[in-house]
Amino acid sequence: MKKKNQTLGEFIIENQESFQYSSGELSRLINSIRLAAKVVNHEVNKAGLVDITGSAGEENIQGEQQQKLDVYANETFIQTLINREIVCGIASEENDNYITIQGQNEKHNNKYVVLMDPLDGSSNIDVNVSVGTIFSIYRRVTPEGAPVEMEDFLQPGNQQVAAGYIIYGTSTMLVYTTGCGVNGFTLNPAIGTYYLSHPNMQFPENGNIYSINEGNYVHFPQGVKDYIKYCQAEEGERPYTSRYIGSLVSDFHRNMIKGGIYMYPKSSKANNGKLRLLYECNPMAFIAEQAGGKASDGFQRILDIQPSELHERAPFFCGSKNMVEKAEEFMQATE
């Protein structure tokens, strides 16, 4: 039952026991993410003041270089995790290679790796549209006591122990799962506390929103073109509504609440679409499934794809279960 005014901190402590490896490390890790997200939120909220404080690359009034927000977010998340010595490695959209973290007494004895997109949709910042952070957490597969290796990061999404996103929107929210459902917390910026505002989030089984960059229509595979025509057809509950912010976290978040499908398919311009499997598709797919939704590349479950590269891309169809299954039907009918 939803407790009144439950904070994220209280929720983490209360639910720690239900987590299968409850050593407290994962709780401390989520706590670090919650802290870094507050710092990034504060900076993102000031983005509109660039004319006053100076834009990226310029010097501010104190003679310091202004950083781009995605670089700032990347450094903030990495530094917060390093300072707390709770992960053994981090991979980020902003870094070509993964980062190894030695942990306490340089013993490499932390269990978890984090993969993240520190500020997704950052091209939206200039126009005051919501952006997000996406994160994915795994246990390392190589033995503790030695530096992490690439295989610790190249795990299929079905091995995730936790995943989540932060949406820097009209309100800032942190939404995450540890495999026992999805819960959403809203930040009260005045006091810096997140409250449980969206307990046990569920994707409606059906929806009437489709989200895709239709500007790429001519480049889409026939199955996607056919599915778009299906969404637009005058029949039953259709035509569906088209909504596309161009900010994955925001499009996903809206669709999870209202019912809908997000699609970034392959195209004749990009063979695997645009989104990155490890820190965009997998965490969102884990959250979607935990909320009763579905995530597919059009042919197979996203979470079952065996990755082979840190920054690889995958076509992505994610959202209300029945809508994703319908899109898969169209994809599979034409290939």
* Residues at the contact surface with ligand AHM, assessed by CB under 6 A: 93, 117, 120-122, 213, 246-248, 251, 274
213 is in an annotated binding site: yes
Can you tell me the distance from the alpha carbon of 202 to that of 2, in angstroms, rounded to the nearest whole number? 15
Site for Mg ion in 202-241 (CB under 5 A): none
48 binds, among ligand AHM, Mg ion, none (CB under 5 to 8 A by kind): none
Under the binding rule (CB under 5 A), the answer on residue 70 touching Mg ion is: no
- Which is closer to ligand AHM, CB of 108 or CB of 274? 274
Distance of CA 280 to the CA centre of its chain: 5
* 251 is a contact residue toward Mg ion (CB under 5 A): no
Q: Alpha helix locations (H) across 119-179?
A: 150-153
Span interacting with Mg ion, options 111-119, 180-188, 217-225, 313-321, rule CB under 5 A: 111-119
* Number of CB atoms found within 10 A of residue 230's CB: 17
68: annotated binding-site residue? no
152 in a labelled binding site: no
Q: Which is nearer to Mg ion, 11 or 77 (CB)?
A: 77
- Specify the residue for token string 């992490």: 148
Nearer to ligand AHM, 70 or 289 (CB): 70
The dihedral sign for the CA sequence 121, 149, 26, 319: positive
Nearer to ligand AHM, 67 or 200 (CB): 67
Asked whether residue 214 is marked as a ligand-binding residue, the answer is no
Amino acid at 257: I
85 binds Mg ion (CB under 5 A): no
CB of 56 closer than 8 Å to CB of 97: no
Phi, psi of 32 (to 5 degrees): -65, -40
Q: Beta strand 316-319 with 294-296: parallel, antiparallel or unpaired?
A: antiparallel
Q: Which of 120, 152, 289, 328 binds Mg ion (CB under 5 A)?
A: 120
Cβ proximity of 280 and 315 under 8 Å: no
What is the C-alpha separation between 296 and 326, in angstroms, rounded? Answer: 11
Of 229, 180, 223, 232, which Cα lies nearest the Cα of 201? 180
Q: Is 298 annotated as a binding residue?
A: no
Indicate the residue among 26 and 249 with the shorter CB distance to Mg ion: 249
Annotated binding site: 93, 117, 119-123, 213, 244, 274, 280
Annotated binding site for Mg(2+): 93, 117, 119-120, 280
Annotated binding site for substrate: 120-123, 213, 244, 274
Chain residues in the site for Mg ion (CB under 5 A)? 117, 120
